[in-house]
Amino acid sequence: MTEEHAHERGLRVLCLDSGGLRGLVPLAVLQNLKTRTGKEPHELFDLVCGTSTGGILAILLGLLKVPVDECVELYEKLGKEVFEVGWLSKVKDLVTNRARYSSEALERCIKDTIRERVRALNLKPSGKPAEPGHDPDLLLSDVPPNPDPSSPTPRVFVVARRGQGIFLFRSYRDTIDAGAAGTSDACVWQAARATSATPGFFEPMEIGRHRYVDGGLGHNNPALDALVEYEHIDAWSGRPIACIVSLGTGIKTIKTVDQVCSQPSCPG
Protein backbone atom coordinates (compact mmCIF):
# COMPACT_ATOMS: atom_id res chain seq x y z
CA MET A 1 0.00 0.00 0.00
CA THR A 2 1.28 3.44 -0.89
CA GLU A 3 1.57 6.22 1.70
CA GLU A 4 -1.21 8.06 -0.15
CA HIS A 5 -3.69 5.26 0.67
CA ALA A 6 -2.36 4.38 4.11
CA HIS A 7 -5.29 5.99 5.96
CA GLU A 8 -8.04 5.06 3.53
CA ARG A 9 -10.36 2.13 4.22
CA GLY A 10 -10.25 -0.80 1.87
CA LEU A 11 -12.50 -0.90 -1.17
CA ARG A 12 -15.86 -2.63 -1.01
CA VAL A 13 -17.13 -4.43 -4.10
CA LEU A 14 -20.65 -5.71 -4.84
CA CYS A 15 -21.10 -8.31 -7.60
CA LEU A 16 -24.56 -9.36 -8.77
CA ASP A 17 -25.14 -12.56 -10.76
CA SER A 18 -27.58 -13.18 -13.56
CA GLY A 19 -30.75 -15.03 -12.59
CA GLY A 20 -33.90 -13.74 -14.25
CA LEU A 21 -36.85 -13.68 -11.86
CA ARG A 22 -34.59 -14.97 -9.08
CA GLY A 23 -32.98 -11.52 -8.95
CA LEU A 24 -35.26 -10.99 -5.96
CA VAL A 25 -32.90 -13.25 -3.97
CA PRO A 26 -29.92 -10.82 -3.88
CA LEU A 27 -32.35 -7.98 -3.26
CA ALA A 28 -33.56 -9.77 -0.12
CA VAL A 29 -29.95 -10.05 1.05
CA LEU A 30 -29.37 -6.35 0.39
CA GLN A 31 -32.54 -5.46 2.29
CA ASN A 32 -31.12 -7.34 5.27
CA LEU A 33 -27.81 -5.51 4.87
CA LYS A 34 -29.65 -2.19 4.82
CA THR A 35 -31.51 -3.15 8.01
CA ARG A 36 -28.21 -3.95 9.72
CA THR A 37 -26.29 -0.87 8.54
CA GLY A 38 -28.96 1.74 7.90
CA LYS A 39 -27.38 2.42 4.49
CA GLU A 40 -28.37 1.83 0.88
CA PRO A 41 -26.07 -0.22 -1.39
CA HIS A 42 -24.73 2.90 -3.16
CA GLU A 43 -23.60 4.20 0.24
CA LEU A 44 -21.82 0.98 1.20
CA PHE A 45 -19.90 -0.04 -1.91
CA ASP A 46 -17.20 1.59 -4.05
CA LEU A 47 -17.81 -0.64 -7.07
CA VAL A 48 -21.12 -2.24 -8.07
CA CYS A 49 -21.19 -4.60 -11.03
CA GLY A 50 -23.51 -7.16 -12.54
CA THR A 51 -24.32 -9.45 -15.44
CA SER A 52 -27.67 -9.72 -17.23
CA THR A 53 -30.47 -9.12 -14.71
CA GLY A 54 -27.71 -8.59 -12.14
CA GLY A 55 -26.49 -5.83 -14.44
CA ILE A 56 -29.93 -4.21 -14.38
CA LEU A 57 -29.81 -4.31 -10.58
CA ALA A 58 -26.31 -2.80 -10.58
CA ILE A 59 -27.58 0.12 -12.66
CA LEU A 60 -30.68 0.60 -10.51
CA LEU A 61 -28.94 0.32 -7.13
CA GLY A 62 -25.53 1.80 -7.92
CA LEU A 63 -25.98 4.30 -10.72
CA LEU A 64 -29.58 5.47 -10.29
CA LYS A 65 -29.50 4.99 -6.50
CA VAL A 66 -32.94 3.41 -6.35
CA PRO A 67 -33.59 2.54 -2.68
CA VAL A 68 -33.43 -1.22 -2.26
CA ASP A 69 -37.04 -1.48 -1.02
CA GLU A 70 -38.26 0.42 -4.09
CA CYS A 71 -36.02 -1.75 -6.24
CA VAL A 72 -37.87 -4.85 -5.00
CA GLU A 73 -41.18 -3.31 -6.09
CA LEU A 74 -39.70 -2.31 -9.45
CA TYR A 75 -38.22 -5.77 -10.00
CA GLU A 76 -41.56 -7.40 -9.24
CA LYS A 77 -43.09 -5.12 -11.85
CA LEU A 78 -40.41 -6.17 -14.35
CA GLY A 79 -41.18 -9.79 -13.51
CA LYS A 80 -44.85 -9.38 -14.41
CA GLU A 81 -44.41 -7.18 -17.47
CA VAL A 82 -41.18 -8.54 -18.92
CA PHE A 83 -39.68 -11.74 -17.53
CA GLU A 84 -42.87 -13.78 -17.26
CA VAL A 85 -43.61 -13.13 -20.92
CA GLY A 86 -39.96 -13.64 -21.84
CA TRP A 87 -38.37 -16.55 -20.02
CA LEU A 88 -41.49 -18.32 -18.77
CA SER A 89 -43.41 -18.21 -22.04
CA LYS A 90 -40.66 -19.13 -24.47
CA VAL A 91 -41.64 -22.76 -25.07
CA LYS A 92 -45.31 -22.15 -25.80
CA ASP A 93 -44.67 -19.04 -27.88
CA LEU A 94 -41.86 -20.16 -30.17
CA VAL A 95 -43.79 -19.12 -33.28
CA THR A 96 -44.52 -15.59 -32.06
CA ASN A 97 -42.40 -12.48 -31.99
CA ARG A 98 -41.99 -12.82 -28.22
CA ALA A 99 -38.34 -11.68 -28.08
CA ARG A 100 -39.19 -8.36 -29.70
CA TYR A 101 -42.16 -7.82 -27.39
CA SER A 102 -40.12 -8.62 -24.27
CA SER A 103 -37.28 -6.35 -25.40
CA GLU A 104 -39.66 -3.46 -25.97
CA ALA A 105 -41.34 -3.98 -22.59
CA LEU A 106 -37.98 -4.10 -20.79
CA GLU A 107 -36.74 -1.02 -22.61
CA ARG A 108 -39.91 0.88 -21.74
CA CYS A 109 -39.68 0.00 -18.02
CA ILE A 110 -36.01 0.99 -17.86
CA LYS A 111 -36.58 4.32 -19.62
CA ASP A 112 -39.51 5.14 -17.32
CA THR A 113 -37.33 4.47 -14.26
CA ILE A 114 -34.46 6.56 -15.65
CA ARG A 115 -36.76 9.53 -16.20
CA GLU A 116 -38.02 9.30 -12.63
CA ARG A 117 -34.50 9.07 -11.18
CA VAL A 118 -33.20 11.93 -13.34
CA ARG A 119 -35.78 14.15 -11.68
CA ALA A 120 -35.25 12.71 -8.20
CA LEU A 121 -31.45 13.07 -8.33
CA ASN A 122 -31.47 16.31 -10.36
CA LEU A 123 -29.20 14.77 -12.99
CA LYS A 124 -28.20 16.58 -16.18
CA PRO A 125 -28.47 14.21 -19.16
CA SER A 126 -26.18 15.07 -22.06
CA GLY A 127 -27.04 12.39 -24.59
CA LYS A 128 -28.71 13.05 -27.92
CA PRO A 129 -32.53 12.87 -27.62
CA ALA A 130 -34.01 9.72 -29.12
CA GLU A 131 -36.50 11.87 -31.04
CA PRO A 132 -36.86 15.62 -31.67
CA GLY A 133 -38.61 17.29 -28.75
CA HIS A 134 -37.75 14.49 -26.31
CA ASP A 135 -35.56 14.90 -23.24
CA PRO A 136 -31.84 14.14 -23.70
CA ASP A 137 -30.78 10.58 -22.93
CA LEU A 138 -28.83 9.93 -19.74
CA LEU A 139 -25.31 8.68 -20.53
CA LEU A 140 -23.31 6.43 -18.23
CA SER A 141 -20.72 9.20 -17.98
CA ASP A 142 -23.43 11.61 -16.76
CA VAL A 143 -23.33 9.83 -13.39
CA PRO A 144 -19.60 9.78 -12.56
CA PRO A 145 -18.19 8.22 -9.39
CA ASN A 146 -18.29 10.45 -6.33
CA PRO A 147 -16.52 9.32 -3.13
CA ASP A 148 -17.99 12.18 -1.07
CA PRO A 149 -19.55 10.39 1.95
CA SER A 150 -22.37 12.94 2.09
CA SER A 151 -23.60 11.92 -1.38
CA PRO A 152 -21.62 8.90 -2.61
CA THR A 153 -21.90 7.44 -6.09
CA PRO A 154 -20.04 4.16 -6.67
CA ARG A 155 -18.33 3.11 -9.86
CA VAL A 156 -20.66 0.85 -11.84
CA PHE A 157 -20.09 -1.53 -14.71
CA VAL A 158 -22.25 -4.18 -16.37
CA VAL A 159 -21.08 -7.11 -18.45
CA ALA A 160 -22.16 -7.83 -22.03
CA ARG A 161 -20.66 -9.67 -24.98
CA ARG A 162 -19.69 -8.19 -28.34
CA GLY A 163 -18.76 -10.84 -30.83
CA GLN A 164 -16.68 -13.44 -29.01
CA GLY A 165 -15.34 -11.08 -26.36
CA ILE A 166 -16.48 -9.51 -23.13
CA PHE A 167 -17.51 -5.85 -23.17
CA LEU A 168 -18.02 -3.61 -20.14
CA PHE A 169 -20.41 -0.68 -20.00
CA ARG A 170 -18.83 1.62 -17.38
CA SER A 171 -19.81 4.81 -15.55
CA TYR A 172 -16.18 6.00 -15.49
CA ARG A 173 -13.35 6.65 -17.94
CA ASP A 174 -10.11 6.34 -15.96
CA THR A 175 -9.12 2.79 -16.89
CA ILE A 176 -5.95 1.83 -18.68
CA ASP A 177 -7.95 -0.01 -21.38
CA ALA A 178 -10.70 2.63 -21.74
CA GLY A 179 -12.31 2.43 -25.16
CA ALA A 180 -10.91 -1.02 -25.97
CA ALA A 181 -12.85 -3.39 -23.69
CA GLY A 182 -15.62 -1.04 -22.66
CA THR A 183 -17.26 2.37 -22.88
CA SER A 184 -18.90 5.05 -20.76
CA ASP A 185 -20.40 6.88 -23.74
CA ALA A 186 -23.48 4.68 -24.12
CA CYS A 187 -26.91 5.61 -22.79
CA VAL A 188 -27.86 4.05 -19.47
CA TRP A 189 -30.86 2.30 -20.99
CA GLN A 190 -28.66 0.85 -23.75
CA ALA A 191 -26.28 -0.62 -21.17
CA ALA A 192 -29.19 -2.20 -19.29
CA ARG A 193 -30.58 -3.70 -22.49
CA ALA A 194 -27.21 -4.94 -23.69
CA THR A 195 -26.26 -6.77 -20.51
CA SER A 196 -29.68 -8.48 -20.32
CA ALA A 197 -30.09 -9.42 -24.00
CA THR A 198 -30.25 -13.19 -23.44
CA PRO A 199 -30.26 -14.89 -26.88
CA GLY A 200 -33.62 -16.47 -27.64
CA PHE A 201 -35.44 -14.44 -25.01
CA PHE A 202 -34.54 -10.83 -25.85
CA GLU A 203 -33.30 -9.22 -29.02
CA PRO A 204 -29.62 -8.23 -29.24
CA MET A 205 -28.89 -4.58 -28.46
CA GLU A 206 -27.56 -2.72 -31.48
CA ILE A 207 -25.41 0.35 -30.82
CA GLY A 208 -23.81 1.80 -33.92
CA ARG A 209 -22.38 -1.03 -35.99
CA HIS A 210 -22.10 -3.45 -33.05
CA ARG A 211 -24.51 -5.99 -31.56
CA TYR A 212 -24.42 -6.83 -27.86
CA VAL A 213 -25.88 -9.77 -25.97
CA ASP A 214 -26.12 -10.98 -22.38
CA GLY A 215 -22.71 -11.41 -20.75
CA GLY A 216 -23.87 -14.49 -18.81
CA LEU A 217 -22.07 -17.00 -21.03
CA GLY A 218 -18.81 -17.44 -19.14
CA HIS A 219 -19.36 -14.32 -17.02
CA ASN A 220 -22.55 -15.12 -15.12
CA ASN A 221 -20.72 -14.20 -11.91
CA PRO A 222 -18.84 -10.93 -12.53
CA ALA A 223 -16.55 -11.21 -9.48
CA LEU A 224 -13.47 -12.12 -11.54
CA ASP A 225 -14.24 -9.28 -13.95
CA ALA A 226 -14.39 -6.94 -10.95
CA LEU A 227 -10.93 -8.05 -9.81
CA VAL A 228 -9.50 -7.47 -13.28
CA GLU A 229 -11.23 -4.09 -13.49
CA TYR A 230 -9.83 -3.10 -10.10
CA GLU A 231 -6.32 -3.57 -11.49
CA HIS A 232 -7.18 -1.24 -14.41
CA ILE A 233 -8.48 1.73 -12.40
CA ASP A 234 -5.65 4.23 -11.96
CA ALA A 235 -7.26 6.04 -9.01
CA TRP A 236 -7.25 2.79 -7.00
CA SER A 237 -3.64 1.90 -7.63
CA GLY A 238 -2.20 0.66 -4.34
CA ARG A 239 -5.51 0.75 -2.48
CA PRO A 240 -6.51 -2.66 -1.08
CA ILE A 241 -9.83 -4.45 -1.41
CA ALA A 242 -11.52 -4.86 1.98
CA CYS A 243 -14.31 -7.18 0.84
CA ILE A 244 -16.13 -8.58 -2.16
CA VAL A 245 -19.83 -9.32 -1.66
CA SER A 246 -20.83 -11.68 -4.47
CA LEU A 247 -24.55 -12.43 -4.55
CA GLY A 248 -26.02 -15.27 -6.56
CA THR A 249 -29.68 -16.08 -7.09
CA GLY A 250 -29.97 -19.42 -5.29
CA ILE A 251 -29.92 -22.99 -6.53
CA LYS A 252 -32.51 -25.69 -6.92
CA THR A 253 -32.88 -28.23 -4.13
CA ILE A 254 -30.20 -30.90 -4.47
CA LYS A 255 -31.35 -34.45 -3.74
CA THR A 256 -29.07 -36.80 -1.88
CA VAL A 257 -28.33 -40.32 -3.16
CA ASP A 258 -30.55 -41.74 -0.39
CA GLN A 259 -33.43 -39.52 -1.49
CA VAL A 260 -33.07 -40.57 -5.11
CA CYS A 261 -32.85 -44.28 -4.25
CA SER A 262 -35.92 -44.09 -1.99
CA GLN A 263 -38.09 -43.22 -5.00
CA PRO A 264 -40.18 -46.06 -6.53
CA SER A 265 -38.60 -45.49 -9.94
CA CYS A 266 -35.11 -46.11 -8.60
CA PRO A 267 -33.71 -49.46 -9.94
CA GLY A 268 -32.75 -52.07 -7.38
| Catalytically active residues, by annotation | 52, 214
CA 92-93-97 angle, to 5 degrees, is 175
Q: Please, are residues 111 and 189 in contact by the beta-carbon 8 Å criterion?
A: yes
Of 24, 25, 44, which Cα lies nearest the Cα of 34?
A: 44
DSSP for 224-243 reads HHHHHHHHHBGGGTTPPEEE
Q: How far apart are CA 155 and CA 147, in angstroms?
A: 9
Alpha helices (runs of H) in 63-174, residue ranges in sequence order: 68-78, 84-86, 98-121
Instruction: Quote the CA–CA distance of 18 and 83 in Å, as a whole number.
Output: 13
Q: Reduced to 3 states, what is the DSSP secondary structure of residue 247?
A: strand
Beta strand 210-214 pairing with 205-207: antiparallel
